[in-house]
Amino acid sequence: MRYVYRHGAHELTLFWAAPTAAEVAGLRDADVEVGLFSHGPAAFLLYKVKNVCEWSDASFNVHLVPEGERELPEEAPGDRARLKLTLVDAEDGIVRARRILSLDKVMTQALRHAMREQAAAPFNRLIYDAAVQEVHARYQDSDALALVAEVVEPALG
**Closest among 77, 33, 73 to 52, alpha carbons compared:** 33
CA atoms of 126 and 85, how far apart (whole Å): 29
CA atoms of 118 and 122, how far apart (whole Å): 8
Give the tens place of pLDDT for each residue, 75-124.
Answer: 998 999 999 999 999 999 999 999 999 999 999 999 999 999 999 999 99
Domain ranges (residues) in the chain: 2-155
CA atoms of 61 and 41, how far apart (whole Å): 7
Query: Residue 29, Cβ neighbours under 10 Å: how many?
Result: 14
> Are the beta carbons of 119 and 65 closer than 8 angstroms?
no
> Are the beta carbons of 43 and 61 closer than 8 angstroms?
yes
Q: Across all residues in the chain, what is the average pLDDT?
A: 96
CA atoms of 57 and 100, how far apart (whole Å): 19
pLDDT of amino acid 157: 82
- pTM for the full predicted model: 0.94
